[in-house]
Each structure stands twice: as C-alpha cells, then as structure tokens.
Chain A
Amino acid sequence: MNAPAGSAFAIADSLRIDTPFEVFGQHVRRFETYFDGSRRETVRGPIELEGIGLRLFRPRDGKIGVGFQATGDLSPKGIQGAIAAAQLSAKLSLFPAARVELPSLAPRIAQGPEICSVPLWDRPSEEVDRYVHALLSPYEKLRDVTPSFGSVKANLIETWIANSDGLRTSFVATSAELEFAVKASGGPEGRAPGEYWLTREFRELDPAPLADETVRWAQRARDVRIAEAPPSGRRKVALPPAFLNEVLPQALSVRFTGAGRLRQMAFEAGTRLAAEGITIRREPRTDWVPGSAPVDDEGWITEPVPIIEKGAAAGQVYDVLHAAAFDRRSNGSAGRMTGAGRESCYRFTFRPGPHLGPISVAAGTDGKDEELIEGIDDGVWIDQLGWPNPDPVGGSFGGEIRIGYRVKTGRIAGPVRGGTLGGPVFAGPGEPSLLANVTAIGSRAVLSGRLVSPSLVTEGLTIAGSG
C-alpha cells in the first residue's frame, strides 16, 4: 500500500530556511469501540488528526541549537508560525554536537517489514466490529466467566518524512490496541468474583488466536478467585514473554541509548550485565511487530542493533543528534515518544530521540515452558503484575502479583496472588539482577507486544508474600 503524496513533502519543498531542517508529517485516523460486559458503551470514530513536526538545526558556538515545533495548522500562516516558533526554540536550546548528518537515501515509498493490514485500512469500523464480535462471542458459551469491560482501538497512519538533504520518504501503517477484562464468578464456594485484565498491541486485528486465548484468559480469571498468597524470599521465578514485554523494553530504554551514554549512564562495551546466554537486540524490521518500520522517525533505514551480546553490554541505539555527539552515524533508531497525555499514534507532536523500539531476546536451548517448569524445584511462574513500573535510570522494577503459579518439584502447584515481585533488571558487574541471574532460557521465542522473546527463569528477584 502506498501513501499518497503528503502535505509534508509540499511544505518541505516550499521552506526557505538557511539551516538543515526536517519535516515529519502524519495523518492519523482512529476508530474505537468500548464495551461494558457485552454491551456497547461508546463507539468513536473517525478521530482524525493531521499535522507536522518541523525541526531545524542552527549551529552556534560549536554546538547546535535545535528548534522544534509541531502544528496541526497547515495553512501558510500556520506554517509561518511553526517556523517562527522553531526558530525561537533553536535560539534558546543548545545540544553538544558540532554538525548533524541527515539521511537522504530512503526511497520515496519506503520498503520494509509488513506493518499495514489492508482489511483494517480499507474497512476500519467493520474490522473493529468483527474483532469485538469474535472477542465477546465465545463467552456466550461459558457459564462462569463473562466479559467485564474492554476496548478495541484501530489506528490508520500515513507518515511522510522530508528534509533539507533531499529526503522524501513515506509509508503507511496500521496498529491496534486491545484492553480486555474477563470476570469469573458463581459456583458454590461463595468466593468474590475474579477478574483477569490484559492489554495487547498489534499491527492487525486477527481474530484467529482468540479461540485459544479465550480459554486461557477464562482460566486465569477462575484462578484469581482461588489464588493463595505467594511465599516470601528470593526464589526462582519463571517469566513468560508477555510479562517480559512489560519490563524489558522500558527498563533498557535509557541506559542503552545514545542519551544514556551522553549522560554517562551507559555501560562500557563488554561489561558483563547478564547471564552468558542472554542476547538482546533492537529488531525494527520484523513483520507485524508494533514499532517496526522501514525507516526510523528521522528517515534513516532501520537496522538491527545489538544491545547485549552473550551477557555483555554491546552497544547503544542512536538518533541523528546523539550520533553526532559521538561523531558517528545514526543507526536508524530515532523514535518520537509521546509520554503521558497523548496517545502514541500522534507521533508528529514530539521531537525524535534515540529509541529502543521493538527488541528481541534470543532463544536458548532449555526447552518448552513445561520443561522450564520441570527444572524449578521451588519457585513461582509469574503471569502478571499490577504494573511492573520499570525504572530506566535505576534499572529496577516491581509491583503487585496479580496472578502467578506456585511451582514445586517441577510442577505447577496452584495459583498465587498478592504480595510483590521486584528487584533490579540489570545491575553492575557481580550484582544480582533479573538478567544476571537467568538460569534457563526457553527454546522458542514468541512475539508479545514489542518484544520477541522466549520465557526466562531467573533467581535474581525477591518475592514479598503476605505470609
């Protein structure tokens, strides 16, 4: 699918600015359905926003004044206002690099991973309705588990990137978000209802996996009702990909970037941070992975970047500016992060920075999940925390166990809930951490959100049970 020629190209062609500049344009359409149980609560769409982020680089005193302004007003007056505001912020900002190297090579229609679902693009409302139906209908057959609440959201995004070095590139993408909770109740035991609450991020709305997922989610909700408190202490914990997706991308998001290096927080290459079998890479070109793209948010062609190789720090991700600060070239890792407040699809409203994006953890040789469990004498399989809240500076994470499973002598012994799990994700050499104390790595890496990973078993974390 090709993006139509965007206004960002025309705007870039018309700019008369005597410094390097870049125009990042987006047209976003969003469709959302919210439901309460099986009842439609609110239907939204189209939610439509078009705009550009204009960035310019003004050399000053051996450094660069970086100006940025985003605007949804694409009239000539609006563009002039954006230029004036960007000039003002360039005058007041200063970044420690002498010159920037902007990309110029990407084709007009960027080629790369599959990231646009044609059915979703062509029929967004119908596809959302179809997915919601497929999501809710299996529960009509269940007596004890019902949908609690949820939402399905679809984004159709056209992106154009142009710069003063002649780059004119574009691509289209779809993305979708699922938030869903199921509730178990009834039965003779009189226990309070149990709820299992999950979020997922996709590039396409494929209802096929829902048949199996429904069974699994329903069982989780039933298990919430009968879960016991976990034991206290440092024990082996098994962490599946869905859990690791909540922890690793954010925990590694500062100190393994050019921004972390500039702030003297990055680890020297070769520093041992993880168990020998752990290899982590930025993988921005995998089909259907959220965050994958043919070019990064500055227009550089994306490429894999090693972060941790065989347990040792291997490198950082760079955007144009942070690469310039170290006299090197960007490795295609610029991302526009939205932070709290605005939905992540409206990327043009933010300036780019070095961004880890989708990552992979290499598969190991310790077998399927069942085999990992067989290797645990006394531990816990963690399915979900309330929120792990990874701290990308301190390197730790921690939260309340919403549902997990006690493992005794190599077998699942029953669900656990409550108490906390936490500790460092990574730490200095010799210090215990999630990554340093990995004792087993599953043989099959699967996609969960922005992470492709096998399940891991570690003994570097502490559980605080209520007993």
Chain B
Amino acid sequence: MIDLRDAQAEIHGALRHLESHTPFAEALAQGETGWTINLDHTGTSVRIDPVLSGVAFRAWAGDHWVEAAAGRLDGRSLKSAIDGLRRQLESSGPRKSPPETAATGREVAVHPPKHPIEAGDIETWIPRGEEYRTWARSVKGVSDGRVTLGASTDVRLYLNSVGAERYQVVPRVFGGVIAIAIENGMARYDVVRSGGMGGQEVLEPITEDRVQEAARSAVALLRAKTPPAGRATIVLDPSTAGTLAHESFGHGAEADQFVRHRSCLQPILGTQVAPDFFSIVDDGSYPGGWGSYYFDDEGTKPGPNYLIDHGKFSGVLHDRTTAAELGGTPTGNARRSDFLSRLWVRMTNTYIAPGDRSREELIQEARNGVLLEQFTSGVEDPLGGLMQIRVLKGRRIEHGRETELLGSMALSGRVLDVMRSVRGVSRMERMEMEIGYCGKGHSDYIPVGSSGAYVLTEATVGPA
C-alpha cells in the first residue's frame, strides 16, 4: 500500500517555498491501489490499478485560488509544480485575506474493514465471480452474465501552511452482475450491484436469489411494453428515490451554486418545500457508504447534513470558501476526484429518510400510474429548477395494483413541484446505499452513494 507520509517532509518543504508569495497554501497528496476483475463468456480480464501518486497544491492569490499538480512525489516534480504556482501568484492582483476556517491540528484515520481485502486475494475472487456468472446463466433465456468485482484503497494526505495534517486510508469494494438477454437483435439487461467502504462484507447483498431475479427481469424486458408518455402519478423505488434526492436538493444545495447565483433554491432556504414527513440528508460519515471518508480535501470532518428536515429546506453543503462568503460553516464536503482534479463542493451519500408507509400502501394510493425501478442516471438543472432521472424498467400501476412490465424510461420534472407533490414515503428495514459516480458539470467524477425508500409523487415520464 502507498504510504504518502514518506513524502511528507518533501511536501512540507515545497509549501514553505510558497510562504513569501501567499498568506495560505495547502497540499493534497493522493494515491490509489487496487484491482478490478471482469468476467463474461469471452474470458477473464484482471486489471491492476495504475501506480500513480501525486500532489495538488493550492494557494490563495488575493481574490481567487491558484493550483498546480505533480504526478510524482520526487523533489524535481514538486519543484516544477511549485514554480508554476509561484508564477501564477506573482501575476495575481491585490491581496485580500484568504477565506477563514482553515483546518489545523493532526489526525489520522485508517478504516478497519470487517473482512479486509489482501493483496493476494485477486486469485480467490475469480471463482467467486464465476459463481455469480453461473447464477445469472442458470436462468433460461439469459445470453450471458457479466461480472465486475473490484477493490481499491484511496490514500490521502492533507497538509497546509498553518500546520494541519490529515492522513486517511479508505478501502472501497464493489461488485456488479449484469444479466443480458438477446433476441432478434434486441438486447436487454438488468443488474445487481453493491459497493461501499469496507472489505469483503460489502459484497454480501449479491446473493443467488438477487442475481437470478435480475436475470429473469432481463429476459422479461425483451417483452416489456413501451412506457406511457406524459404527466403521471409515480412511485419511485429506493434506488430512484436516492437519485431524486441527489438531483433535486443535492446539486442545488451545493453552496458554490449559491455563490454563483445559479441555484433556484437560494431564495427559499428556510422555507417549507415538502410535506413534514419528508427529509433529505447528505452524510459523508455514513457507515460503509460508497461516498464516505474521514476528512474532506480541506481537512474537515464530514457528518450528517439535513438538506430538507421534515419538509423544511434547512441546510446547504459548504467548503471553506463558500462558508466564508455565505456566513456558514464548512460541512466536510470539499472533494477532489484525485490529485489531478480541482476541489469542489460535492455530495457524499445522499438519501431520503425512510417514512412510515408500506410499499403496498403507496402503490394502492397511486391508483393509476407508473412504478420506476433501477436508476441508471440523473442530471440536475440548478438554476432552471428541472431534473431528469433515467431508469432501466418499471411497472404500470392500474387500480392500485402493479400490472405490465415497462421498458426503460426517463422522468422529468420541476424540482419544487415534485417535492410538493410527495404523498408518501415508505419504511425501510435496512437502507442499502447505491453506488454511483457524480460529475461536477461534465467532469471530475467522484464516488457518491444515494438511497432512500419508496416515494409516491408526480412527474412527467416517457420512453427512453
């Protein structure tokens, strides 16, 4: 495993070279090790993660941040990055103080998985993947089962010019089985996936029953009906509800959108936006979450942040810059994809808190509508207040009962209308954090979790 602390003195030295040029500078060294196994009927492919570690430097240039990064931790590479940064600082404008609340002090966090992954585990995981494939292929009509299993360890060391030091080791494991059915040129699939911070225990939700259910679903989707087009009463499954949380009040509550005056939610902070049984939470400390970590990339600890608390829009997500500009407190949501990427205010694990209804009650209450299942993607529109979610499949709801299977579809809606239309949220005995990657705009993808319970509301749906 990479130990970035070997380079700590060298990085500290590089920061010291910036002292006469800036009132504040910081460094995030980052490296990752791991591997991914892919299996399908064409063969087995094992990929060991690139050996890459490097450092991003950031310095305050009076009224904006400047950054440079080096892809190696040797003295020559660090000097090249620091020289670039100094040139930028020399050409910057008048000096204002840097945003307040820089991290201080020293902390170390190394996640202890219940069942750790060892370097020699790759070979033992191939039979596990083959077993998953066998489960999928045991269902009649399935053409293939494609299995992906992976483990990684993300190591980060944060240092700044006021003495902060944060070292963390975050192991993540993920697995997915895609069952594919092909007939007359038409290909349909369904998927089981699981991922999170931890060790082998993360894969426990991938069971034979679930894989075979996905395989049967893939075959059934070859005969699925075209979804209706237009405004409808809808019930979202927990994975889709999690995406709703992420795209609706997640992106719009990232405070950099407030600073940029491009969140339609900004004027309604503190007001009631949904029924009082409805809450959305972002929590970077969620146990085992795919988007969990111990410190953000400014050295702040994450924690549960209620974006909607019992229907009231109650909080936003901050880094130190937005907190200073808007009079808030850093919430532990400053994240970089890696040492090559810039820092943004980002979500972590975002979810709709479970309610007190049953799934069946919500279906009955929907009366006539559509059940949307198995999210594939979502996109926000913070200023315009729209959002889209795409799902793999669904069910028509007629007279309070689930009827025919529907193919892939997209949901569109005005965020505030969808929230105000919420009529119920189901109970969840055990919430499973879905795995996803979120981009800021069209780049800087990071691991995020999302989850929720069944949600009854209204929106526009159509084939997709």
Q: Are A351 and B180 in contact (CB under 8 A)?
A: no
Binary per-residue interface labels of chain A (322-363) against chain B in the complex, 1 for a CB within 8 Å, 0 otherwise: 000100000000000000111100100101000000000000
* A41 with B43, Cβ < 8 A, contacts A51-B50, A463-B229 known: no
Cβ of A466: which chain B residues have Cβ within 8 Å of it? Answer: 230-231, 412, 460
* A214 at the binding interface (Cβ < 8 Å): no
* A46 with B80, Cβ < 8 A, contacts A265-B187, A402-B381, A466-B231 known: yes
Instruction: Report the minimum CB–CB distance from B73 to chain A (whole Å).
Output: 10
* A349 with B52, Cβ < 8 A, contacts A41-B65, A48-B69, A342-B340 known: yes
Q: Are B462 and A420 in contact (CB under 8 A)?
A: yes
Q: Are B43 and A396 in contact (CB under 8 A)?
A: no
Binary per-residue interface labels of chain B (442-457) against chain A in the complex, 1 for a CB within 8 Å, 0 otherwise: 1101100000000000
Considering the complex, which residues of chain B in the window 24-40 have a beta carbon less than 8 Å from any beta carbon of chain A? 37, 40
Q: Are B383 and A89 in contact (CB under 8 A)?
A: no
Q: Are A43 and B462 in contact (CB under 8 A)?
A: no
* B20 at the binding interface (Cβ < 8 Å): no
Instruction: Identify B376's interface contact among A92, A94, A389, CB under 8 A.
Output: A389
* A192 at the binding interface (Cβ < 8 Å): yes
Cβ of A39: which chain B residues have Cβ within 8 Å of it? Answer: 63-64
* B77 at the binding interface (Cβ < 8 Å): yes
Instruction: Report the minimum CB–CB distance from B147 to chain A (whole Å).
Output: 14
Q: Are A81 and B51 in contact (CB under 8 A)?
A: yes
Cβ of B464: which chain A residues have Cβ within 8 Å of it? Answer: 389, 396-399, 420, 422-423
* A95 with B45, Cβ < 8 A, contacts A46-B68, A400-B412 known: yes
Cβ of A47: which chain B residues have Cβ within 8 Å of it? Answer: 67-69, 340
Considering the complex, which residues of chain A in the window 217-236 have a beta carbon less than 8 Å from any beta carbon of chain B? 224, 232-233
Cβ of B205: which chain A residues have Cβ within 8 Å of it? Answer: none
* A464 at the binding interface (Cβ < 8 Å): yes
Binary per-residue interface labels of chain B (210-233) against chain A in the complex, 1 for a CB within 8 Å, 0 otherwise: 000000000000000010111100
Q: Are B66 and A398 in contact (CB under 8 A)?
A: no
* A43 with B48, Cβ < 8 A, contacts A346-B340, A386-B386 known: no
Considering the complex, which residues of chain B in the window 67-84 have a beta carbon less than 8 Å from any beta carbon of chain A? 67-72, 77, 80-81, 84
* A394 with B188, Cβ < 8 A, contacts A89-B47, A400-B388, A464-B460 known: yes
Instruction: Identify B185's interface contact among A68, A94, A267, A387, CB under 8 A.
Output: A267
Cβ of A387: which chain B residues have Cβ within 8 Å of it? Answer: 377, 379, 388
Q: Which residue of A lies closest to B42 (CB)?
A: A262
Considering the complex, which residues of chain B in the window 344-390 have a beta carbon less than 8 Å from any beta carbon of chain A? 376-377, 379, 381, 383-388, 390
* B408 at the binding interface (Cβ < 8 Å): yes
Binds A, one of B194-202, B236-244, B258-266, B276-284: B258-266
Cβ of B70: which chain A residues have Cβ within 8 Å of it? Answer: 48
Instruction: Report the minimum CB–CB distance from B217 to chain A (whole Å).
Output: 13
Please measure, in the bound complex, the distance between the C-alpha atom of A181 and the C-alpha atom of B61, giving whole angstroms: 25
Instruction: Identify B340's interface contact among A49, A386, A467, CB under 8 A.
Output: A49
Q: Are B390 and A389 in contact (CB under 8 A)?
A: yes
User: Which residue, B63, B69, B387, has most C-beta atoms of chain A within 10 A?
Assistant: B69
Q: Are B44 and A42 in contact (CB under 8 A)?
A: no
Q: Which residue of B lies closest to A32 (CB)?
A: B342
Cβ of A93: which chain B residues have Cβ within 8 Å of it? Answer: 43-46
Considering the complex, which residues of chain A in the window 186-238 have a beta carbon less than 8 Å from any beta carbon of chain B? 192-195, 197, 199, 224, 232-233
Q: Are A183 and B51 in contact (CB under 8 A)?
A: no
Query: How many A-B contacts at CB < 8 Å in the complex?
Result: 287
* A421 with B50, Cβ < 8 A, contacts A341-B445, A394-B187 known: no
Total number of B residues with any Cβ neighbor in A under 8 Å: 89
* B285 at the binding interface (Cβ < 8 Å): no
Q: Are B340 and A395 in contact (CB under 8 A)?
A: no
* B331 at the binding interface (Cβ < 8 Å): no
Considering the complex, which residues of chain A in the window 362-421 have a beta carbon less than 8 Å from any beta carbon of chain B? 385-387, 389, 391, 393-402, 417-421
* B206 at the binding interface (Cβ < 8 Å): no
Cβ of A267: which chain B residues have Cβ within 8 Å of it? Answer: 185
Binds B, one of A12-20, A70-78, A161-169, A293-301: A70-78
Q: Are A422 and B460 in contact (CB under 8 A)?
A: no
User: Which residue, B77, B384, B461, has most C-beta atoms of chain A within 10 A?
Assistant: B384
Please measure, in the bound complex, the distance between the C-alpha atom of A44 and the C-alpha atom of B444, giving whole angstroms: 14
Instruction: Identify A464's interface contact among B44, B53, B229, CB under 8 A.
Output: B229
Cβ of B188: which chain A residues have Cβ within 8 Å of it? Answer: 394
Binary per-residue interface labels of chain A (54-87) against chain B in the complex, 1 for a CB within 8 Å, 0 otherwise: 0000000001001011111100001001100100
Instruction: Report the minimum CB–CB distance from A177 to chain B (whole Å).
Output: 8
Cβ of B231: which chain A residues have Cβ within 8 Å of it? Answer: 466-467
Instruction: Report the minimum CB–CB distance from A178 to chain B (whole Å).
Output: 10
Cβ of A262: which chain B residues have Cβ within 8 Å of it? Answer: 42
**14 chain-A/chain-B pairs, Cβ below 8 angstroms:** A42-B65, A72-B50, A72-B54, A183-B262, A192-B264, A199-B441, A342-B340, A389-B376, A394-B188, A398-B408, A398-B410, A418-B460, A420-B412, A462-B229
Closest 8 CB pairs of A and B: A398-B464, A464-B462, A422-B464, A428-B185, A400-B388, A49-B71, A70-B50, A464-B229
Q: Beyond A92-B37, A232-B462, A393-B189: 12 further Cβ-contacts under 8 Å?
A: A30-B340, A47-B68, A63-B43, A68-B47, A192-B385, A263-B40, A343-B443, A389-B377, A389-B390, A393-B180, A418-B386, A465-B460
